[in-house]
Amino acid sequence: MTVDAQSFKQAMRHCAGAVALVTVGSETGQRTGLTVTSACSLSDNPPSVLVCVNRNASAHQRIREERHFVINFLNEDHALLALTFSGQKGVNGDDRFAFGRWTTGATGAPVLEDAVAAFDCVLAQELETKTHSIFIGEVQHVRAATTVDPLIYLRSGFQSVRNIHDPVELGDLDARRVSWNEFS
């Protein structure tokens, strides 16, 4: 049985994803980036992350050429920045970096200063699928903020984690009982 693309996309919209900007390019005028929800940790030995990038994205070829990239996980105040890097605001390439506060990472790639977390990577491996490449990056430098909440994408829109549900504390025995009873 095969699943059609529309059904797949509709189901994925119910799976919350952290929103990140993947940025590449060490020279002004040559930088680019895109918005993704397809970035995650891979390993801590060596520290590695992965991101899936459509081969039609401008950043795809640049990552291959530069052999480095940064995954900048966005905070809840970055929804307009996410839209800008997604191409929905009509801003392309290096012009996208006119928005937000940027610095240069250890690899030379752009790092968003107020990202929830930024992983500056060298390209360690690339795996190809029909439409996307999976870029595996070995982390060269990391920075993290502890005072901001992440931006997530859920049900076709950007959300703050605070708007979704009150967090369950690990030490809350009653909450654990409720959670585990739901699985029995």
Beta strands 47-54 and 17-18 are unpaired
Dihedral class, residue 67 (left if φ above 0, else alpha if ψ from -120 to 50, else beta): left
Residues 68, 11: Cα–Cα separation, whole Å: 32
Predicted local confidence at residue 166, as pLDDT: 52
Q: Which residues are registered as beta bridge partners of 1?
A: none
Q: Classify each residue of 33-48 as buried b or exposed e, where b means 16 or more C-beta atoms within 10 Å of its C-beta.
A: bbbbbebeebeeeebb
- pTM value? 0.86
Predicted local confidence at residue 7, as pLDDT: 93
pLDDT tens per residue across span 9-67: 899 888 889 999 999 998 889 999 999 999 999 999 999 999 999 999 999 999 999 99
Q: Name, in order, each residue with C-beta under 8 angstroms of 24's C-beta and a sequence gap of 6 or more.
A: 31, 32, 33, 59, 62, 63, 66, 68, 69, 70, 109, 110
pLDDT tens per residue across span 125-136: 999 999 999 999
What is the topology classification, in CATH, of domain 16-158? Answer: Pnp Oxidase; Chain A (2.30.110)
Predicted local confidence at residue 169, as pLDDT: 59
Predicted local confidence at residue 100, as pLDDT: 95
Where are the domains positioned within the chain?
Answer: 16-158
Predicted local confidence at residue 175, as pLDDT: 57
